Structure 1
Amino acid sequence: MEQIVQQIEAYKQEIAAFQPKNAEELEQYRIRFLGTKGLVKSLFGEMKNVPNEQKKEFGQVLNAFKVLAESRYEAFQQLKDEAAGATGQLDLTLPGEPHRLGTRHPISLVRNKAIRIFERLGFTIAEGPEIENDWHNFTALNLAENHPARDMQDTFYVHNNPDWLLRTHTSSVQVRAMEEGKLPIRIICPGRVYRNETISARAHCFFHQIEGLYIAENVSFADLKQTLYYFVQEFFGENFKVRFRPSFFPFTEPSAEMDISCLICGGEGCNVCKHTGWVEILGCGMVHPQVLENCGIDSGKYTGFAFGMGIERLTMLKYQIKDLRLFSENDARFLKQFQGTV
């Protein structure tokens, strides 16, 4: 054992005097002392020849030697890193890194398609702020302060008295367009909206809408129905059924909800259609006379219709997606399935 300890002391002096000039000398040092056949591993192999009463003392010596050899190597690691960096900068023959082409988000694909369909009917795009005041989001739309319908549109308030909030629908954009008084009005309002809802496969605290508004003289419910029939046939094709159900919205009268047979289960029943075979895709109706008056439009001369639909709902039906949460999880495995368009 004494002979081995003397060898270790000689190796320690060699390590202390080691001053590499380049990465090649540093690599030779690593192989000599720290490699699989290096001195450190060889010396640890001598442990079996040491008497049991001396193993503890010898083990401490070996561990100290190993730490010294490793720390000396790490002290000059910068030489190796600089050499690798310099090589990478000078080697101009290496092929360049390819640029990965992304794809459009499915929400964007569906929104753009819906916009193109309505543009063929003469609708133009109108946009507005996502942070709204109470008047444009609720009161002007015949939703008084204590109206029970506000409970269905519980949202996130950013300021009280006066109330400023994250808009619950893009109907606020319609109010702003009506207040301008430039008639007739034929607009669609795409955008993101917010509601305080429990996140699930069918609901989220934010989502996207497209709402439409047409105000002119002699506009009827028949105009509304034909507009929506045209849209769903252009968007989904013709292999489905359509139905209108009477409903209630404070800002339209009469009001209806439009359903189509579920394209995911073929009408058999699934979690998306709540096992009914039908999926509601939009709400609609004739603009309430009080809403027209609130916005300075003569309800005795002008009539109009409005509708609103969730883009996520359309996307789920078109691509047969069963969980709405996938749209906002940013999972590349999900997103790369959708083909981008220029």
Structure 2
Amino acid sequence: MSRELSHEIDELIQVFKAEVEQVQSQQQHRELKEKYFSRRRGICTLLMQRLRDVPPQKKAEAGRLINHFKQTVTQNLDQVSARLKTGREKTVDWTLPPVYRPIGAPHLIERTRTELEDIFIQMGYEVAEGPEMESEYNNFTALNIPAHHPARDEQDTFFIQGREDTVLRTHTSPVQIRYMKSKRPPFKAIFPGKVFRKDEPDATHTPVFHQIEGLLVDCGVNFSHLRGILETFIRAFFGSEIVTRFRPGYFPFTEPSAEIDISCFLCFGRDPECRICKGTGWLEILGSGMVHPKVLENCGIDPEVFSGFAFGMGVDRIAMLRHGVPDLRMFFENDLRFLRQFG
């Protein structure tokens, strides 16, 4: 038995040495190692299993022959592994300059939205989102927008074909409706997201843009609370030297309503040729007001007990004003020269 095993192992060693000389890659090395040391079908594994059938008086000699074979295979595989590692290291020229791989950055609109959200989160506001495809009721009726209002016309709103009374939301206010129906006051939240309107693309309009709206409902909320929150936000985002101006406005879902302007942060009204404010010294940035009692009623909130305020702004417009971007379409043209300015 020992003589036959010795002859068999000699032949296996010759075959192995021929195979190991052909190894030129780590993959080939792994495959050869698997062939000899696989736990189920490896050649060395099968040889060790045959020891069970060797007579007791010959097991010691057979074990010595098998161990000699295993050591030979292991040593040769280790030498090949070291050779492959050395060869791989030699292919690297450490004197060459590093390869520059440019790393992307968040889009300017996304960065602006995140910064706006962070300011309100620090003031304790929750961030809530909702579907972009909305019911006509949530988008218009629940917000006290009358049936004859021009916003409900097909010339201004995207209606979904085959889905009766379903639109692409024209503002993120429907998320406020969903939020108020699912919560009980007091609460405060902001509602960021994409909105859709049938606008022809030009320097200040696109059919898809981004908004952030805010809402606070509690007992005894009044307009001075709204003003305090918005002035805190404006100074946090634009700078402490900014002056605000509240002008009377009209929105169906708030009463009273106000539009907010800020002093031009570039010229402060001193440059009649200013590219940001066009010489007026003021920039319109958002709309706001006290939540209309009918809107609260539509959401199951008693307006005799609770009151609240709401506000909304265009993220794209805020980014345009802050960074002096002259044309809204530049955000969406994927021009790397433009995007890299803000990377």
**TM band (smaller chain):** 0.5 to 0.7
SS of structure 2 residue aligned to 1:157 = coil
Tell me whether 1:138 sits opposite 2:140 in the alignment.
yes
Aligned residue for 2:228? 226
Q: Distance in 2 between matches of 1:120 and 1:197?
A: 34
- Aligned pairs for 1:133-172 (under 5 A) are 133-148=135-150, 150=152, 154-159=156-161, 162-172=164-174
- Aligned pairs for 1:226-245 (under 5 A) are 226-245=228-247
Structure 1 residues 280 and 216: CA distance shift in structure 2, 3 A: same
Structure 1 residues 261 and 311: CA distance shift in structure 2, 3 A: same
Aligned residue for 2:331? 327
TM-superposed CA distance for 1:154, in Å, is: 1.7
TM-superposed CA distance for 1:207, in Å, is: 0.7
Q: Distance in 2 between matches of 1:192 and 1:109?
A: 15
Aligned residue for 1:38? none
Q: Which moved more, 1:175-184 or 1:152-161?
A: 152-161
Aligned residue for 1:117? 119
Gaps of 5+ in 2: 1-89
Aligned residue for 2:316? 312
The equivalent position to 1:202 in structure 2, one of 201, 204, 214, is 204
SS of structure 2 residue aligned to 1:159 = coil
Structure 1 residues 273 and 139: CA distance shift in structure 2, 3 A: farther
Tell me whether 1:281 sits opposite 2:263 in the alignment.
no
Identity %: 50
Q: Which moved more, 1:153-162 or 1:290-299?
A: 153-162
Q: Distance in 1 between matches of 2:259 and 2:174?
A: 20
Q: Distance in 1 between matches of 2:207 and 2:266?
A: 24
* 8 A contact 1:170–1:193 mirrored in 2: yes
Aligned residue for 2:105? 103
Structure 1 residues 169 and 223: CA distance shift in structure 2, 3 A: same
Q: Which moved more, 1:270-279 or 1:241-250?
A: 270-279
Aligned residue for 1:301? 305
Cα RMSD (Å) of the superposition? 2.3
Deviation sequence 1:53-102 (CA, Å, 0-9, x none): xxxxxxxxxxxxxxxxxxxxxxxxxxxxxxxxxxxxxx965889643201
Q: Number of matched residues?
A: 249
Aligned residue for 2:35? none
TM-superposed CA distance for 1:275, in Å, is: 5.2
TM-superposed CA distance for 1:249, in Å, is: 0.3
Aligned residue for 2:296? 292
TM-superposed CA distance for 1:150, in Å, is: 4.0
Gaps of 5+ in 1: 1-90
The one-letter code of the counterpart of 1:284 is S
The equivalent position to 1:178 in structure 2, one of 177, 180, 196, is 180
Deviation sequence 1:234-284 (CA, Å, 0-9, x none): 000023321011010000000000011233554335565465332210000
